[in-house]
Amino acid sequence: MIQALVFDFGGTLDGNGIHWLERTYQFIHRHHPEITREAFDVADRETILEFAFGKSPDEVSYQDGTIGLVATNVKAANYTLRETVDAIATGIFNRLNLTQQLKDEYVEWFCKGASEHLTENRAWLEKLCNNYKLGVISNNFGNTRGWCDEYNLTSLLDVIIDSTVFGKIKPDPSIFEAALSELGVNPEEAIYVGDSYTADMIGAKRVGMWTAWMIGNQPKECLDLSVVDIQLTHLHELTDFLSTF
């Protein structure tokens, strides 16, 4: 019997399977197709390092070319969702020599879409919370609970874990184990829903949780389907899956 549903935040609750990174690149590519993915990825990585740690990218050490989102920038941890989007967009757009006007258009477009998804999903979660324990695990900058407060999700959630606050990032098993412990359920009694194959599916399956992969309406690479129990093109399809138990 499934007793708990645990969700990723960015790209899952606010974007129906499309991660922040992809939404940003797709917006820029529509307006400036000459900007390569490689150039965008460099601008994004440098911006995230600067935002997460409050230092220039050259001052931040990272391992194997990956960014660990156990951030240390206290200021970033207090940003609203819009403030976070604006700060990250400013860094990326400046590094790519794009205009302030286009950056502002992007922020409005992004936040409008995120708000629509979060409002729709809150109504759905409100129905689910009568029958299931609910939670969120997010690789974030310390502001996941603040965003849940901002969009009136907190009252529906039994656990909220932010990687920066916790001190580990997905797919580290301990972050999933901590959520299960707070929820008081066994791994086989919980489903983890996320848009990232590596961080979400592999991480949750390592501890024995059911896994629901948010693929949305865009193709995603999956190296091993054995770690994915269900693929969702829309988050609310999970309701049909739950009815099989």
State pTM to two decimals: 0.92
Span 205-224, average pLDDT? 88
Cα 120 from Cα 142, distance rounded (Å):
24
Query: What pLDDT is recorded for position 60?
Result: 60
203 versus 222: which is more confidently predicted?
203
pLDDT per residue as tens digits for the range 46-85: 999 899 888 776 666 554 444 455 777 888 899 999 999 9
Residue 197 has pLDDT above 80, yes or no: yes
Long-range CB pairs of 16-22 (<8 Å, 24+ gap) are 16/117, 16/214, 16/216, 16/217, 16/234, 16/235, 17/195, 17/214, 17/215, 17/216, 17/217, 17/218, 17/220, 17/232, 17/233, 17/235, 18/195, 18/216, 18/218, 19/195, 19/196, 20/85, 20/88, 22/218
pLDDT per residue as tens digits for the range 7-29: 999 999 999 999 999 999 999 99
